[in-house]
Chains A and B, each alone.
Chain A
Amino acid sequence: MRVTFDVNGRRQEADDVWEGESLLYVLRERMGLPGSKNACEQGECGSCTVRLDGLPVCSCLVAAGQAEGRQVVTVEGLAGENGELSTVQQAFVDAGAVQCGFCTPGLLVAADELLERNPEPSDGDIREALSGNLCRCTGYEKILDAVRLAAARAEQAV
């Protein structure tokens, strides 16, 4: 089948898609967007998190056909037009929240969505919002630091 949807504001199309393919597979293997990660492919780790019409979802659990005609935002869509890092991306680099980095794309999409709806999250809010994103390297402390830093910088920028 053919699927057509918007990814990071651009119309994308893929042909010869098998009906069982996930949104994650089509993004990674057919659209050249491997930023969303494949850590578990069973909806438990959050590394494949993308936004579908604004809502964070595990793209491994979304059939590609379900995205037809909809808006998808992936980690590749977070940076600015000229490649400048978004506030949350820069905060992850600066705070040491990235080690192996495999969980990072999903965490960035989830954290970006959190800060959009809750610009001043408490630590409890951050933990709750990111509790679907597993990280095996950092022990999460630097990830909390990064989200706090991004929130503080965004507030300063206002």
Chain B
Amino acid sequence: MAHETPAATTGGPRAATAPGRAPSSLTQGAVTRGGIGESTLRPDGVLKVTGEFAYSSDLWHEDMLWGYTLRSTVAHAKILSIDTGEALATSGVYAVLTHDDLPTEVKHYGLEIRDTPVLAHGKVRHHGEPVALVAADHPETARRAAAKIRVVYEELLVITDEASATAPGALLVHEGRDDHHSGHVPHPNIVHRQPIVRGDAAAAAARADVVVTGEYVFGMQDQAFLGPESGLAVPAQDGGVDLYVATQWLHSDLRQIAPVLGLPESKVRMTLSGVGGAFGGREDLSMQIHGCLLALRTGKPVKIVYNRFESFFGHVHRHPAKLRYEHGATRDGKLTHVRCRIVLDGGAYASASPAVVGNAASLSVGPYVVDDVDIEAIALYTNNPPCGAMRGFGAVQACFAYEAQMDRVAAELGMDPVEFRQLNAMEQGTIMPTGQAVDSPAPVAELLRRVKAMPMPPERQWEVAGGAPDVRALPGGLSNTTHGEGVVRGVGYAVGIKNVGFSEGFDDYSTARVRIEAINGEAVATVHTAMAEVGQGGVTVHAQIARSELGVAQVTIQPADTRVGSAGSTSASRQTYMTGGAVKNTCEAVREKVLDIGRRKFGTYHPAWATAELLLESGKVVTDGGEALAGIAEVLEDESVDLELEFRHRPTQAFDLRTGQGNGHVQYSFAAHRAVVEVDTELGLVKVVELACAQDVGKALNPLSVVGQIQGGTTQGLGIAVMEEIVVDPKTAKVRNPSFTDYLIPTILDTPTIPVDVLELADEHAPYGLRGVGEAPTLSSTPAVLAAIRAATGLELNRTPVRPEHLTGVR
């Protein structure tokens, strides 16, 4: 394991301003081998278990200041005045900035629609909106100074739902919209609307023997990554700034930061620091611009670290949704049609709402064959907290509703819910509601079969022979609320479909730079990308790919930064496909160059150099027949090969704004769950006993990591099923539970065993046949748990998360 600072690896102008603690290169050599398909261990694992790994909140610079953000205490108000005088006069304070201090005419940012003020101007649109910034020599000094800033608000009526957003005379959350969705939306408080119409739903409904309608509510979920938003901005001598930060997409940040600072992108040098989880919550900017503004203003390095309270306001959440569905089926169990309307609450700023709408609409029917559909999805502008990307991205909310519907239709028909799903399951060749053919394996029925075939967990696991029950295995756990009285078991199933990669015509690409050289007689490789390693294990996989493609043992992964081309976002289950694909693609080109050098030097000595297909394996150039021709180091000698190339997936198309037709997605991924729950029906407490998952991953590049992704995604789905919800007061639009005391995520006692069955059916269009893994398990987990609770209780349960009062009727 090599420990190098960026200064040591890069030299150049950064050396003068490098922090005292900074991200390091990761080198794995002879000890940890392993190409694709092997459960190679993480190259950052040792740093992470020793406490040496440099997370963004761990960064430190001599002489650094601490930044702090003053946020609005109300959700919707005019700002009448801001008085910073007393704060500025506080000893230890170096700067106080408001909207008026922004250096250029660009005062807003945003992922797709640039509607978010860097600092509030004249108005705040949600609780916790940034209003002013303070830099001071101690974090407590900065906090106390911020408390001395006097902001006078004149409160406005809050818009909190569809009715208040579209009521006659409703206030507009954003006046004078001119974004590219503003022309086709039915109301300025609707960010984007995507209908999908295919076939003739009315005619098909007439053929239905049973029709089931339902209305569903999905709560607001928080990503709750553990590493808080944080970073360190260091002013540079050239007038630029070096920013060390935890993010999901360096280059997207860069595009949004540089114009606000009035700097060319080349003068905003970004380095990814250790990221403590992301799950979509770091797609949008948090402290990036604020830190840079304070650093440039004070001429000193500025570190900003949110605490958990602030983190709940510092990133977007998963869209809460209201969903109305109508499913029809014939007596023999075939779906006739689906009508649905999905209303997503985007909150005060657009963030990723348009893309979430596209996903919710296009995946709203689920992994089933339905020829006749009438679908509409919209996202609202309201004064609720802004919502955007979170693992599953629009597909999660839809899956919760359509899987509840599938159970209800099966019950109406008197059919087994799994058999009913299998009867309607899509397969390769199925046409989606968008008109797009699914052109790779879609083993929906098989995943359901597999998850159903897993052995069931034993009954009454809490019983201890000859002793008191183990309450840890019972609903209520260590609260000791039951010893088994009133506890009823239920089993539920669900399956989902998620797109992989960026859709709807987006030019989705990634870049990888790969270098091969000989050091001390051994060929070694260096991989440099801007991929955000957020915990998923991309760095592990990149080294595995380089080993497989280049036949080397030692691979160094350089810190991700903006000196190399964009890797795109660590989201949409896309990074192994896209940046993994980019590393593979560049390695193949590097290999050809190595072979060219070999042919030039040794071609005359052996005819196979010209005639055979050549590979790089175990440090040697070998023929496809296995004959070794030369050592790679021998071929390279003092030469090196160093290439940086872009990689793209197949192009996609925008969805038609009227019909929703279009080949909008790149790839689909599928997972199925079986949930076994035990419910204390008297107290309304739920113990999830087991959450079994079967998922098709195309090709498991690292089986250990793949299973880890599936278990982690499954657990986030469990969270929104039974405990997680950001509670927003409907009268004030203020967040009521911004803490881990009141916003509960599953602990190890809440989380059941999660047996995983991994299926590998290659997608011939994807690198190595792989399928993006990260999101699909978050979809079906939630509806499976809900189905199991319904089976245990007989209750309808049309909202998630389920709380005790929903099970007992007692409030």
Contacts and interface: CB of A to CB of B under 8 A. Distances in A.
Interface string A70-101: 00001110110001010001101110101111
Contacts of B223: 136
A42 B48 contact: no
B785 to A, nearest CB: 14
A82 to B, nearest CB: 12
A41 interface: yes
B41 A127 contact: no
Interface stretch (B340-348, B559-567, B709-717, B800-808): B709-717
A104 B308 CA distance: 18
B49 A38 contact: no
B318 interface: no
Nearest to B717: A139
Interface in A33-69: 33-42, 44-45, 47
Nearest to A83: B50
Given A44-B739, A142-B711, A102 B49 contact: no
A146 B242 CA distance: 38
A9 interface: no
A151 interface: no
Given A75-B51, A101-B535, A141 B276 contact: no
B254 interface: no
A152 interface: no
B276 A124 contact: no
Nearest to B1: A83
Nearest to B781: A139
A141 B707 CA distance: 10
A34 B140 contact: no
Given A102-B226, A136-B277, A140-B751, A94 B740 contact: no
B581 to A, nearest CB: 22
Interface residues of B, number: 65
B747 interface: yes
A134 B226 contact: yes
Nearest to B741: A44
A102 B51 contact: no
A75 to B, nearest CB: 4
A29 B139 CA distance: 11
Contact of A37 (B41, B276, B278, B741): B276
B634 interface: no
B51 A35 contact: yes
A139 B741 contact: no
A28 B58 contact: yes
Contact of A18 (B39, B138, B279): B138
B740 A40 contact: yes
A103 interface: yes
B302 interface: no
B50 A35 contact: yes
Contacts of A12: none
Interface string A96-116: 101111111100100000000
Contacts of B45: 92-93, 98, 101
Contacts of A99: 277, 535-537, 708, 712
A127 B470 CA distance: 12
A23 B375 CA distance: 55
A29 B57 CA distance: 10
A85 B275 CA distance: 23
A39 B56 CA distance: 12
A136 B50 contact: no
A80 B218 CA distance: 49
A136 B391 CA distance: 12
A135 B41 CA distance: 19
Interface in A131-147: 131-144
Interface of A: 18, 20-21, 28-29, 32-42, 44-45, 47, 74-76, 78-79, 83, 85, 89-90, 92-94, 96, 98-105, 108, 124, 126-128, 130-144
18 contacts: A32-B60, A37-B226, A38-B228, A42-B309, A45-B226, A93-B46, A93-B49, A96-B704, A99-B712, A100-B534, A101-B276, A124-B472, A130-B748, A131-B749, A136-B277, A137-B535, A139-B751, A143-B748
Given A34-B51, A139-B751, 15 more contacts: A39-B276, A41-B307, A42-B740, A96-B707, A100-B227, A100-B275, A101-B45, A101-B49, A101-B276, A101-B535, A102-B225, A130-B748, A131-B478, A134-B740, A136-B279
